Structure 1
Amino acid sequence: MPRTPSSLRRAALPLSACLLLAGCSAAGDDASGTSPRSGTSAAPGAGREAGTAESRTPAGSRSPAAVPVRVAVPSLGIDSELMRLGLNEDGTVEVPPAEKGMTAGWYTGGATPGEPGAAVIIGHNDTRFGKAVFHDLRKIAKGADIAVRNDRGAELHFKVTGTETVSKKAFPTRKVYGATSARTLRLITCDGAFDAQGHPVDNLIVYANRS
């Protein structure tokens, strides 16, 4: 995975490993979603490329979970391949590089879409190259369909239950990344006004459940 610019790597990692993040950009290609750092690091291996669904498969299971490879929101005309996103060396969440603004990414430290837990997909709103994959995400409606295809050819569908715009300084980490037995999906990008440095100050979070 290519290293992202330092301006993108600001998402904090609480001890609980419930991450916050953002995927967006404007003039500065900032995709950060900030919160107070706990001063601790993630659990060992949480950010390794191997820290995917395969490494989390319980011993004795027949096969590893399928890997998501594409996401689509038909009502908005969104259709994107999925790259894998982990953690940077400093414990912050990776985001897609600005030059791949039209490609969303699946955070491998969360759940696999369709499995119990919160699966998280991150995408830019804008980059210095122009509009990005989640530019129109704010237009998504409650009840809209989100389709995720995996590497086994299966297409999983999720229904939007709501959206939320939050300050990056008050990101609802546990609500987004916290443990749940439900099969949920979150799409995250940046939103809102810009600060003095030209960085969006908010995150847009789309919540969806398996339909």
Structure 2
Amino acid sequence: MGGIDHPGFFYFRKDMDSTIFEIFKKYTRRYVKLTDEELARIESVCTYKKLRKQQYLLQEGDVWKLHAFIVRGCLRTYSIDEQGKEHIVGFGVNNWWVGDRESLKSGKPSKFNIDAVIKSEVILIRDRDFTRLLKEIPAFNEMISTILDRSFMAAQQRILSFISHCAEERYLAFLEVYPGFAACIPKNMIASFLGITRETLSRVRKSAASK
């Protein structure tokens, strides 16, 4: 398996195009105001990774030790059952964070895979550096707390959707959450994420398009 410590995994920060971190800086302004010194401190611990289509960021069995911010592209988080069937638990797109928080906090091997649905670029921060940033920069800590709260609420909404919404309602919600990316994601992946078959997805898409 190719884990996060696999040789050649990281691109050094010096190879990062100046526009890459500008995207992250713009993202932070949605939440907090960071000083130039604070942003420079964050940038100093960032590394950069380009992912080919279907290239892994994390493989099942590896321990996740990073915080990954998606600059461009689309990644998916999924597991594979004993029958070899994929179960997609989430997608991550531009300006989203992705990773396995359970593995990160427990230090146990991940039960999930994360790979690129399309060519993608991510900014990576090792957990030990990330923890220092939270202590050193209160505004950054505030931003991450807000993001974690929103992520928790989104997870609750997805559970509620599976319990109480029909397939068409789940599909329409998917289009709202991932505008502009639905066309890039293979239909079998969308069906897996929604918990329906490809045939059901085809019927749902036709029904939604006719309204």
Q: Decide: shared fold, TM above 0.5.
A: no
The structure number with the bigger radius of gyration is 2
Q: Which has the higher strand share?
A: 1
* Bigger RCO of structures 1 and 2 (CA < 8 A, at least 6 apart): 1
For normalisation by structure 2, the TM-score amounts to 0.26
For normalisation by structure 1, the TM-score amounts to 0.26
Q: Which has the higher helix share?
A: 2
